[in-house]
């Protein structure tokens, strides 16, 4: 049982999405936990060595060092090999699940994540009463909850111009890897903050890009529809 009256328990979140990192930090901050975040596997290893977290949340698709390779590195480092790792990903098909479990993950969670799924997963890995017994930092008022949601959405809207520009540039070069990465990130981010239509559109685009014979006319049309949805959201958000 963790000592809630001594050193605070540390949880490390590694994900290249600002929205996902912010959402997990906000959720976990309801408890008496230290939450550390970073956006790629290389930094994640450094943070894990430095802070010795009780639990790691890890995305699979990230720049520099992806989740699967990071898992393999963790499992050969003496100080880290016993740390439990929960993989959080939009790519939870059979092959990815098997690969992640073989690499050392203790649990796989599909994005978008709900509070109920997070609570269940953490308690399954760290003990059924872990969060129940964790001392709440404070109870959030409705105003505070609304402020957290607004903060997460602000991250999303601030990044939209760059996201649209990147999609258009990747389309012009037919860069499948870049498009897949951005749609994967948007799928999880939008699902996390309730933009389920855009999350579904990104999921469909990601699936389309995984096909052997790519229909670029279809991909361009889907991207155009996605960008139109972004612009509708921006208009509504500006009112």
pLDDT, tens digit, 9 for 90 and up, residues 29-65: 778 788 999 988 899 999 999 999 999 999 988 877 8
Identify the domain boundary among 65, 100, 133.
133
Residue 37: its H or E element? strand 33-38
Residue with tokens 């981010």: 189
pLDDT surpasses 80 at 145: no
Q: Give, as one character, the DSSP assignment of residue 135.
A: P
Identify the domain boundary among 104, 133, 162.
133
Q: What pLDDT does 132 receive?
A: 74
Higher-confidence position of 57 and 78: 57
Q: SS3 of 190, please?
A: helix
Query: Domain limits at 162?
Result: 142-238
Q: What is the rounded distance in angstroms from the CA atom of residue 172 to the CA atom of residue 170?
A: 5
- Mean pLDDT for 204-232 is 94
Contact in structure between 64 and 161 (CB atoms under 8 Å): no
Number of domains in the chain: 2
Residue with tokens 């990815």: 96
Q: What pLDDT does 4 receive?
A: 38
**Alpha helices, DSSP H only, in the chain?**
18-28, 41-51, 67-74, 94-103, 115-126, 130-133, 142-173, 176-192, 196-209, 216-238
Say whether both 98 and 190 belong to one domain: no
Residue 14: its H or E element? strand 9-14
pLDDT surpasses 90 at 221: yes
Q: What pLDDT does 7 receive?
A: 62
Q: Percentage of residues in the chain with pLDDT exceeding 70?
A: 91
Question: What is the pLDDT of the chain when averaged over all its residues?
Answer: 85
Domain harbouring 159, CATH code: 1.20.120.160
pLDDT category at 138 given cuts 50, 70, 90 is low
Say whether both 128 and 180 belong to one domain: no
Q: Percentage of residues in the chain with pLDDT exceeding 90?
A: 34
Q: What is the rounded distance in angstroms from the CA atom of residue 119 to the CA atom of residue 126?
A: 11
Does residue 37 fall inside a structural domain?
A: yes
pLDDT category at 5 given cuts 50, 70, 90 is very low
Query: pLDDT of 150-195, one tens digit each?
Result: 787 888 898 899 999 999 999 999 999 899 988 988 888 888 788 8
Say whether both 17 and 127 belong to one domain: yes
Say whether both 53 and 97 belong to one domain: yes
């Amino acid at each position: 049982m963790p000592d809630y009256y001594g050193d605070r328990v540390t949880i490390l979140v590694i994900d290249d999405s600002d929205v996902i990192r912010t959402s997990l930090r906000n959720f976990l901050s309801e408890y008496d936990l230290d939450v550390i975040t970073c956006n790629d596997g290389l930094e994640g290893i450094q943070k894990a060595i430095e802070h010795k977290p009780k639990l790691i949340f890890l995305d699979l698709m990230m720049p520099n060092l992806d989740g699967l390779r990071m898992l393999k590195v963790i499992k050969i480092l003496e100080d880290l090999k016993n740390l439990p790792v929960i993989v959080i990903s939009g790519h939870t098909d059979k092959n990815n699940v098997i690969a992640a479990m073989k690499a050392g993950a203790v649990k796989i969670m599909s994005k978008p994540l709900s509070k109920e799924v997070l609570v269940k997963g953490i308690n399954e890995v760290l003990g059924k009463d872990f969060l129940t017994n964790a001392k709440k930092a404070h109870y959030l008022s409705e105003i505070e909850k609304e402020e957290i949601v607004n903060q997460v959405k602000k991250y999303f809207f601030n990044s939209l111009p760059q996201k649209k520009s990147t999609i258009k540039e990747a389309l012009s070069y037919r860069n499948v890897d870049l498009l897949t990465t951005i749609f994967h990130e948007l799928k999880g981010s939008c699902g996390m903050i309730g933009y389920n239509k855009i999350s579904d559109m990104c999921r469909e685009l990601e699936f389309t890009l995984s096909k052997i014979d790519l229909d670029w006319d279809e991909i361009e049309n889907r991207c155009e529809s996605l960008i139109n949805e972004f612009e509708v959201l921006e208009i509504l958000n500006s009112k």
